[in-house]
Chain A
Amino acid sequence: AQRVTQPEKLLSVFKGAPVELKCNYSYSGSPELFWYVQYSRQRLQLLLRHISRESIKGFTADLNKGETSFHLKKPFAQEEDSAMYYCALSGRGNTDKLIFGTGTRLQVFP
């Protein structure tokens, strides 16, 4: 079964603390993995994707095929990072449908 699991509904940290938002997936094949973010009163937007191997706003995520994980990390959280984060996967086919996890709300306190 194709599934994305985000075990934490809420993650609260203080400014400057490290952050790790967990994501595990189940997929028979080689999926593409993404992190989407939704800031307050804004639309869902792409944060980063594993194929780009990029760092966006200080966030990185490494695909671990052995552990089927794609955890999102940032060494020093900022207050403006407070948002809803969704992990998603897409199979390699003729459609790029996204399978989303249930999301993790990140709260960064001053």
Chain B
Amino acid sequence: RKEVEQDPGPFNVPEGATVAFNCTYSNSASQSFFWYRQDCRKEPKLLMSVYSSGNEDGRFTAQLNRASQYISLLIRDSKLSDSATYLCVVTTTSGTYKYIFGTGTRLKVLA
């Protein structure tokens, strides 16, 4: 089983739609969680950290469910500019602290 799993998509949604992605992780000792966004052939950029209580940043809401070991990202009122690959990141402290990336979920917002 992969350490971090994501549905690769693509998710094709119309502008204005609400879309949600899930990401599951296998290590119950994981400590920090993030969503990064990666545009085609560019570097990953931090979208938001994910806190235990859930957090919101504008149209984006992230949730963490430690019992079921998954995190989610909800995007409301999708814009064309939201089209990208969304990477789930989980940190592990086995050995040293490092990031484990999911393979990403591709989102295409259609006009």
A and B associate in one complex: no
A-to-B contact residues, CB < 8 Å: none
